[in-house]
Structures are given as structure tokens and as C-alpha cells.
């Protein structure tokens, strides 16, 4: 009787197996996994299932096969969700940085923004899992292949584990390795103090910064979050998202073709504020940051932040003479709008120090977009204007159209905050030397090129605004020529040192956006690190 049951199971598997493999392949492809990863996952799963049947203890056959199948189903669901959200591989630096640098409040906001997408992928994963469980019974009979043949397959599988492309498609290797990357990120934070001392020594011996400017000088650097120039009125966007900045007209240098250095906050800050860039991958933590160089050159430094960031605050904020963290990072009730930085900013401007560097780190449009503006700035309803109609005509779903609306509300509020920061600086400078620079760590895809809202390693995720105001305006022809320069913010530190009137023994005049010697280097997108960037000719929506 037992032999008959086994025989029926084997006969059933003969037709279930091809159907199950077709289902698994289809699921991988439909959930945005590429052909190569799909093929490798199927090979690894099939080999593993075969080896379990050949060598696992008889009593554990069923349980081990279920565990093996469940691991691949969960792997598919999580990876495909991450690819959908971030448009890059699940083990990319962008995702590791984002997950490692996320606190509980941001996790809640992420779930709040993406709960529909999370539910969709959970449902798809559950459906695939149930179907595969039904099609692939936990067969307990051993295959007729000889034990030697089984050993050959085992040796082949073990050998292929030395191939990183093959290995990363094995969920029992891939996910523990990601935990290791996360742990390494956390450990790295603990070593920042030691590396900072190395950077100070290097600054004293090799950089030797010297101030060569007026007796009094104030430089304000406002760093935004998740802000796309494609949603700014100043760059031709049809919605009036920059009414206050637009009034400044020629007072502002509005740089037209700027990419962020990276697609995530941590990676971008490492590039913007240190000598590291996309063409020079040095140890940024052991190199002097703009904050350290400014202090050594005689500036009093301030760091005012509305972000509760587990890396940036200990890495950069703690280098400042004065640090004010507005956002404590608690529950939703503790979330503060960017106007919370203004009292500390005004206090810093009143400080009697003759030279001041004030860095203001804004929360900008950090997801959830709907939380980034007060009710008075909820102005946009996509179904009632040309932008909403264009999104609808291009097939963007209701959720993406809503996200564009609240994102543009956040842009309008950022316009208000930036105008306040700049107006306050102009009023306090009293005719002395002053400058203001604004850019964002990265941008966001909000229905511009696909039916999605969130991070992106493609062009929409890196097209950022960059504004500069100078107390001594440049002649119009010179200003207009500067605004057309192609630029990537991985070399922002050299432009900041230029604004700070700081000279060092390691100066790179060709790297400063304001220098007469400026030389543009090839630029790169996160998802195309070896392919020089060319601005798309196809207009985003709208």
C-alpha cells in the first residue's frame, strides 16, 4: 500500500513539476525579476530539492522541502517589492543605506505610504506560495539517480556557490549576507570618532586650509530631501510650486542641469561634504569634511537639522561648534515641519562670530509626502488641472496621482521655507559678505516616467534643483553662462569651499561650479554606474 502511495506521488510529480517550474518562472518575471536571476533561482531551487530528496533523513523529507520552497517564495516576494520601490537590485548600496539608516518613525511612514503596494505584493506572494505548495507535494521517495550522481550534483552546487552571481540567488546565502551588511553599517558608526581624528591629522598636514576672504562672511547651506527639480516652477513645471522664489528673479542663480551624486541620503551626504566623489572613491570618513575645513579656517560652524538621522548626525552634525536637532525622531506626534528650524537659524545668524557656516538639513519631501506640508499648503488637486489630466492620460493610477498632489504641496511648502531662510539671511547680513546655497540629497520618481512614486536609481531619482544667492551679484552674462553648466553634486564640497573663500594645498579649481576653470566630468546614474549620463530627450509627465 505504501509503495502505491509513493508511486502515485511520483506520477503526479511528473506533470506537476513542469507546471510548477513554469509558474515559478512566470512569477519571477511578472514580479520584475530579470531572466538571468529567474533562471538561476530555478536552477538553485531544483538542485536543492533534488539533493534534499537524495540525502535528507527520511523523517525530515517533507519538512525540509517545505522550508526550501517557502524560502524561495518569500525571497521572490521581498526582492520584487524592493525592486519595485527602489528600481535597483535588493543588495544595492541605496537599499542597504536606506534600511540601515531608518528609524521606527520612518518605518511607520514608509508603511503608511506604501501599504497598498505592500498588500499587493503580500497577496501575490501568498498566491504563488499556495499554488506551488499544491503543485509540489513533499515527495519522500528517493530519485532513482545513483548516489554517485547525487554527489556529482552536490559538488556542482557547492562549486557554484563560489560564483557571486549564482550565490546571490540562493536565499539562504543572500539574506544572511544582507544582515551582515546592515551590521557592518551599524559598527561603522561606532568608529566615526577614531576616523575623525585621522581626518584632523590629514587636514593639518596635507590640506592646511587658509581663509582668504573679507573680514565678515556668512555662508548658509540648505540641504533638502527627496526634492525633484521636475516639480519646480523655476524649472518650467506648470504648477505654481515656487511663487516666492520666482519673485527673486535674477537675484538667484538657478542651475539648470544638476544631478545628485547618489540616490540615497547617506551616500549623497558622503559625496557632497567630503573629498570623495564618483571618480575618487577614497575613505570619506578618514578625510576632512567641509565642516572640519571651515572650522580650521576660522569659521564658527552650526548644524541645524529637522532629520533624526542615525548616520548623518553623528558623522557630520557632531563636527559643528553648535548642533540643534529639531526632530527627536519619536512618534508621529513628534514629527515637525521644516519651519521648526527657523528659531535656531535666526539665533545662529545673530551670533557675533565674524565668520559663520550654517548648515540647515531639511526634511523636505521625505516620504510620506502628505506629512511634509501643513494644511494651509494643501493646494493641488490633480483631477482639476493640466498636470493631473496629463498623468491620467498617461495611465498613472489614482494613488500615484494623489502622491503627485501631496508631493507638489510639499514643494510649495519648501518654497516658503527656502524664501524664509534666504530673506532672513539678507536682512541679517547688513551689507557684509554672505552667500546661500540650496540643493537636495536626491530626487523622487512621482509618476514622471512610470506608474510609481518613491526612490529611483534612474534619472527621476537624481534630477535635483541647485540655487545660489550671492550678496555681490554676478553680471548677467556671467550668471547665465554659469546656470547652463552640467554638474553633479558629488563634487559639491569644492563649490562650498569656494563660497567659503577657503584655499588648501589640495585645491581643485576645475571642480568648483563657480570657478572660471570649471571642468565638467562624466556624470552617472545609480543604476548605470559605467554609462555616462545623457539627459533624456523625452519630457517627463508633464
Nearest 5°: phi and psi at 536? -65, 145
d(CA 230, CA 369): 16
Question: What does the pLDDT read at residue 397?
Answer: 94
Count of C-beta atoms within a 10 Å radius of residue 478: 13
Task: Give the cell for residue 345.
Answer: 537659524
Pair type for strands 252-255 and 466-470: antiparallel
Q: Say yes or no: 410 and 453 in one domain.
A: yes
For residue 254, give the CATH number of its domain: 3.40.720.10
pLDDT for residue 37 is more than 80: no
Q: Identify the CA nearest to 245 among candidates 260, 235, 256.
A: 235
Q: Say yes or no: 177 and 240 in one domain.
A: no
Backbone φ/ψ region at 324: left (φ over 0), alpha (ψ -120 to 50), beta: beta
Q: Is residue 175 part of a domain?
A: yes
Q: Which has more pLDDT, 128 or 53? A: 128
Q: Say yes or no: 111 and 242 in one domain.
A: no
Q: Is residue 379 part of a domain?
A: yes
Q: Identify the CA nearest to 226 among candidates 149, 113, 381, 138.
A: 113
Q: Is residue 171 part of a domain?
A: yes
In the block, residue with C-alpha cell 539627459: 535
| Listed range (142-146, 426-430, 490-494, 535-539) with the worst mean pLDDT | 142-146
| Element (DSSP H or E) covering residue 124 | helix 104-135
Confidence of residue 333 (pLDDT cuts 50, 70, 90): very low
Confidence of residue 32 (pLDDT cuts 50, 70, 90): low
Q: Is residue 517 part of a domain?
A: no
d(CA 76, CA 126): 11
* CA 341 to chain CA centroid, nearest Å: 23
d(CA 22, CA 18): 6
Q: Is residue 211 part of a domain?
A: no
Question: What does the pLDDT read at residue 287?
Answer: 97
Query: SS3 for 130-141, per residue?
Result: HHHHHHCCCCCC
For the chain, the farthest-separated pair of C-alpha atoms sits apart, in whole angstroms, at 98
DSSP string, 449-465: SSS-EE--SSGGGTB--
Q: Identify the CA nearest to 501 among candidates 418, 432, 431, 441.
A: 432
d(CA 498, CA 437): 12
Question: What does the pLDDT read at residue 31?
Answer: 67
Confidence of residue 334 (pLDDT cuts 50, 70, 90): very low
pLDDT for residue 12 is more than 80: no
Q: Is residue 121 part of a domain?
A: yes
Q: Is residue 191 part of a domain?
A: no
pLDDT for residue 104 is more than 80: no
DSSP string, 259-314: E-S-SSHHHHHHHHSSS-BTTB---GGGS--HHHHHHHTT-EEEEEES---TTHHH
Count of C-beta atoms within a 10 Å radius of residue 423: 12
d(CA 322, CA 209): 21
Q: Say yes or no: 341 and 461 in one domain.
A: yes
Contact 309, 265 (CB under 8 A): yes
In the block, residue with C-alpha cell 498632489: 405
Confidence of residue 331 (pLDDT cuts 50, 70, 90): very low
Q: Which has more pLDDT, 269 or 22? A: 269
Pair type for strands 300-305 and 355-361: parallel
User: What pLDDT, in 10s, does the model give residues 398-456?
Assistant: 999 999 999 999 999 999 999 999 999 999 998 899 999 999 999 999 999 999 999 99
End-to-end CA, the chain: 69
Nearest 5°: phi and psi at 219? -120, 125
- Last residue within a domain, chosen from 146, 166, 186: 186
Contact 370, 406 (CB under 8 A): yes
Q: Say yes or no: 163 and 237 in one domain.
A: no
Task: Give the cell for residue 484.
Answer: 547652463
Q: Say yes or no: 151 and 226 in one domain.
A: no
Rg of the chain over Cα atoms, rounded to whole angstroms, equals: 27
Confidence of residue 185 (pLDDT cuts 50, 70, 90): confident
Q: Say yes or no: 313 and 458 in one domain.
A: yes
Q: Is residue 540 part of a domain?
A: no
| Listed range (44-58, 230-244, 283-297) with the worst mean pLDDT | 44-58
- Last residue within a domain, chosen from 136, 168, 186: 186
Overall average pLDDT of the 105-123 stretch: 84
Q: Say yes or no: 163 and 231 in one domain.
A: no
Q: Say yes or no: 253 and 149 in one domain.
A: no
- Last residue within a domain, chosen from 134, 164, 186: 186
Q: Identify the CA nearest to 372 among candidates 313, 312, 415, 422.
A: 415
Strands, E assignment, 337-432 = 355-361
Q: Say yes or no: 163 and 239 in one domain.
A: no
User: What pLDDT, in 10s, does the model give residues 458-504?
Assistant: 999 999 999 999 999 999 999 999 999 999 999 999 999 999 999 99
Q: The domain containing residue 267 runs over which residues?
A: 216-500
Give how many domains the chain has, as a whole number: 2
Q: Say yes or no: 136 and 284 in one domain.
A: no
Overall average pLDDT of the 366-395 stretch: 91
463 strand-pairing partners: 259
Q: Say yes or no: 157 and 302 in one domain.
A: no
Amino acid at each position: 500500500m505504501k509503495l502505491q502511495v509513493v508511486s502515485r506521488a511520483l506520477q503526479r510529480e511528473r506533470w506537476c513539476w513542469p507546471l510548477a517550474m513554469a509558474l515559478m518562472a512566470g512569477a519571477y518575471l511578472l514580479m520584475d525579476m530579470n531572466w538571468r536571476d529567474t533562471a538561476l533561482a530555478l536552477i538553485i531551487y531544483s538542485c536543492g530539492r533534488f539533493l534534499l530528496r537524495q540525502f535528507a533523513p527520511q523523517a525530515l523529507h517533507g519538512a525540509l522541502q517545505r522550508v526550501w520552497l517557502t524560502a524561495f517564495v518569500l525571497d521572490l516576494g521581498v526582492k520584487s517589492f524592493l525592486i519595485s520601490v527602489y528600481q535597483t537590485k535588493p543588495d544595492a548600496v541605496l537599499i542597504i543605506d536606506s534600511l540601515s539608516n531608518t528609524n521606527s518613525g520612518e518605518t511607520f511612514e514608509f508603511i503608511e505610504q506604501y501599504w497598498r503596494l505592500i498588500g499587493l505584493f503580500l497577496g501575490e506572494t501568498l498566491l504563488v506560495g499556495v499554488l506551488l505548495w499544491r503543485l509540489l507535494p513533499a515527495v519522500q521517495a528517493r530519485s532513482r539517480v545513483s548516489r554517485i550522481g547525487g554527489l556529482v550534483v552536490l559538488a556542482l552546487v557547492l562549486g557554484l556557490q563560489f560564483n557571486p552571481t549564482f550565490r546571490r540567488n540562493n536565499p539562504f546565502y543572500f539574506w544572511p549576507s544582507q544582515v551582515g551588511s546592515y551590521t557592518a553599517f551599524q559598527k561603522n558608526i561606532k568608529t566615526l570618532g577614531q576616523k575623525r581624528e585621522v581626518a584632523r591629522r590629514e587636514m593639518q598636514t596635507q590640506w592646511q586650509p587658509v581663509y582668504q576672504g573679507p573680514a565678515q562672511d556668512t555662508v548658509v547651506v540648505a540641504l533638502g530631501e527627496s526634492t525633484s527639480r521636475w516639480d519646480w516652477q523655476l524649472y518650467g513645471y506648470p504648477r505654481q510650486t515656487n511663487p516666492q522664489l520666482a519673485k527673486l528673479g535674477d537675484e538667484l542663480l538657478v542651475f539648470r542641469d544638476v544631478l545628485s551624486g547618489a540616490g540615497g541620503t547617506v551616500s549623497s551626504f558622503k559625496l557632497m561634504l567630503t573629498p570623495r566623489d564618483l571618480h575618487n572613491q577614497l575613505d570619506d570618513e578618514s578625510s576632512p569634511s567641509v565642516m572640519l575645513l571651515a572650522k580650521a579656517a576660522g569659521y564658527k560652524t552650526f548644524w541645524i537639522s529637522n532629520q533624526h538621522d542615525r548616520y548623518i548626525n553623528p558623522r557630520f552634525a557632531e563636527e559643528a561648534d553648535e548642533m540643534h536637532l529639531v526632530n527627536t525622531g519619536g512618534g508621529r506626534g513628534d514629527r515637525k515641519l521644516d519651519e521648526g528650524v527657523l528659531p535656531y537659524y535666526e539665533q545662529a545668524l545673530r551670533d557675533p562670530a565674524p565668520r559663520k557656516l550654517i548648515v540647515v538639513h531639511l526634511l523636505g519631501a521625505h516620504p510620506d509626502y502628505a506629512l511634509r506640508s501643513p494644511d494651509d499648503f494643501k493646494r493641488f488637486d490633480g483631477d482639476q488641472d493640466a498636470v493631473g489630466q496629463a498623468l491620467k492620460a498617461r495611465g498613472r493610477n489614482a494613488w500615484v496621482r494623489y502622491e503627485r498632489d501631496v508631493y507638489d504641496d510639499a514643494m510649495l511648502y519648501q518654497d516658503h521655507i527656502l524664501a524664509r531662510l534666504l530673506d532672513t539671511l539678507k536682512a541679517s547680513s547688513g551689507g557684509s559678505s554672505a552667500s546661500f546655497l540650496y540643493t537636495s540629497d536626491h530626487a523622487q520618481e512621482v509618476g514622471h516616467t512610470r506608474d510609481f512614486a518613491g526612490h529611483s536609481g534612474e534619472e527621476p531619482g537624481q534630477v535635483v534643483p541647485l540655487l545660489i544667492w550671492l550678496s555681490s551679484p554676478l553680471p548677467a552674462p556671467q550668471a547665465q553662462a554659469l546656470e547652463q553648466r552640467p554638474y553633479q553634486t558629488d563634487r559639491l564640497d569644492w563649490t562650498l569651499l569656494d563660497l567659503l573663500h577657503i584655499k588648501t594645498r589640495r585645491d581643485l579649481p576645475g571642480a568648483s561650479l563657480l570657478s572660471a576653470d570649471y571642468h565638467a566630468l562624466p556624470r552617472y546614474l545609480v543604476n548605470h554606474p559605467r554609462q555616462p549620463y545623457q539627459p533624456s530627450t523625452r519630457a517627463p509627465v508633464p
